[in-house]
Amino acid sequence: MKPIEIADGIFWVGAVDWNIRDFHGYSTYQGSTYNAYLIMDEKITLIDTVKKEFADELITKISVIVDPKKIDYVISNHTEMDHSGGLARIMHRVGEDKPLYCSKMGHKNLSKHFPQKWNYHAVDDGGELNIGKRTLAFMETRMLHWPDSMFTYAKEDKILFSSDAFGQHYAGLERFDDQTGEAIMTHARKYFANILLLYSPLILKLVDKVTESGLELDMICPDHGIIWRKDPAKIINAYVEWSRQAPKRKALVIYDTMWHSTEIMAETIVDALGQEGVDAQPMHLRSWHRSDIMTEVLDAGAIIVGSPTINNGLFPTVSDFLSYMKGLKPKNKIGAAFGSYGWSGEAVKLISSELEDMKFDIIDPGLKIQYVPDEQGIESCYELGRKIARALPAQ
């Protein structure tokens, strides 16, 4: 793929990773992209790099426009190796003594990844760099989603280089929102739910800060996926909505099962929820990837988790999912636990305790059924479903 001029003198020089299917535990069914941007001004400036494996591709793209040695400044908005992995190779080609701009935490974190004593220039929040006709302004975005994260804003072009924020794991020939249509929002939503959800309060504060500062945005260029040029406000508004986590009349019944008893319970609870007008679905943990479940968790009002008891504990996939969800800190949920057991039956209590730790509103002490649900057991599942439906907001 060739470099693409996204605005006058500003080029996309990133790489498309068509084949990645697992991004540190997040399923990337449609691959990903690592976006990097080259600004041709009096001081030629490269914003971000790519994963180490794609460094040669980045250099080839840059070389179509300019000899990489002529790059004057390199900016690293984020240390994580999908954007800085190619830095060693790039700095070697650009010149090891060329200024490398990053946040103060970026300086610390890059130094922990690379032994090279580069010519670091740690910038302050609000700091600016003149590169000729353009001024680049830096905005610290600590913990969105690493301590080193920052944005770079090209003032005259009104373009925000937003690092991971507003990104999507998506590999395609399209570079812009107006080329992909609505489908891209599904990828953006999944990205938010799995990478940024726990930082929702910070996102809301950041959006307020940007709104108050009157920052004009003609284009948002994230480091993954497509560029928002048709309607940058659309993705910002979506981030505000997702960050607020307003619960819908929607329930997920997330479970695993050994001999189908917990499965029967799950499907019965879902049936009851459906009868009460709740948007409900069972999600078997060996049929659904944890990251796809998290995408659905985003706006669900009820998270109901089921596990059989195995060796006095939880089924391993249930432990895995609870641990994953806990780290992402979803808010405004009601919760309940259920499961089949043979003789000890600890799983339900363990799930309830985990959901309580996540500050879910536990609406039932938990339903456990020995071995196989009988008629009375099935009725208990229906009753639990109805109870969840009553606790959900009417919509």
Q: Please report where in the chains the tokens 């249930």 appear, as a residue.
A: 318
Torsional sign, CA 340, 343, 346, 347: negative
Task: Compute the least distance from the CB of residue 169 to ligand FEO, in Å.
Answer: 9
In terms of phi and psi (left: phi > 0; alpha: psi -120 to 50; beta: otherwise), the region of 275 is alpha
Q: Report the relative pairing of strands 334-341 and 361-362 from DSSP bridges.
A: parallel
* Contacts for 228 with CB less than 8 Å, ≥ 6 apart: 166, 176, 177, 219, 220, 221, 222, 234, 235
Nearer to ligand FEO, 162 or 261 (CB): 162
Query: Among the options 169, 187, 224, 284, which is catalytic?
Result: 224
Task: Compute the least distance from the CB of residue 223 to ligand FEO, in Å.
Answer: 6
Backbone angles phi, psi at 353, to 5 degrees: -65, -40
Nearer to ligand FEO, 78 or 284 (CB): 78
Concerning whether 78 is annotated as a catalytic residue, the answer is yes
Concerning whether 80 is annotated as a catalytic residue, the answer is yes
Nearer to ligand FEO, 163 or 309 (CB): 163
Nearer to ligand FEO, 223 or 299 (CB): 223
Report how far residue 63's alpha carbon sits from residue 93's, in angstroms, rounded to the nearest whole number.
11
Query: Among the options 17, 164, 223, 296, which is catalytic?
Result: 164
Concerning whether 24 is annotated as a catalytic residue, the answer is yes
Task: Compute the least distance from the CB of residue 163 to ligand FEO, in Å.
Answer: 7
Query: Among the options 8, 24, 182, 375, which is catalytic?
Result: 24
Concerning whether 113 is annotated as a catalytic residue, the answer is no
Task: Compute the least distance from the CB of residue 14 to ligand FEO, in Å.
Answer: 12
Task: Compute the least distance from the CB of residue 36 to ligand FEO, in Å.
Answer: 12
Nearer to ligand FEO, 83 or 187 (CB): 83
Specify the amino acid at residue 279. D
Concerning whether 218 is annotated as a catalytic residue, the answer is no
Query: Among the options 17, 48, 57, 82, which is catalytic?
Result: 82
Concerning whether 157 is annotated as a catalytic residue, the answer is no
* Contacts for 213 with CB less than 8 Å, ≥ 6 apart: none
Query: Among the options 191, 199, 239, 255, which is catalytic?
Result: 191
Report how far residue 301's alpha carbon sits from residue 393's, in angstroms, rounded to the nearest whole number.
8
Return residues touching ligand FEO (CB under 6 A). 78, 80, 82-83, 145-146, 164, 223-224
74 touches 50 (CB < 8 A): no
Residues marked active site are found at 24, 78, 80, 82, 145, 164, 191, 224
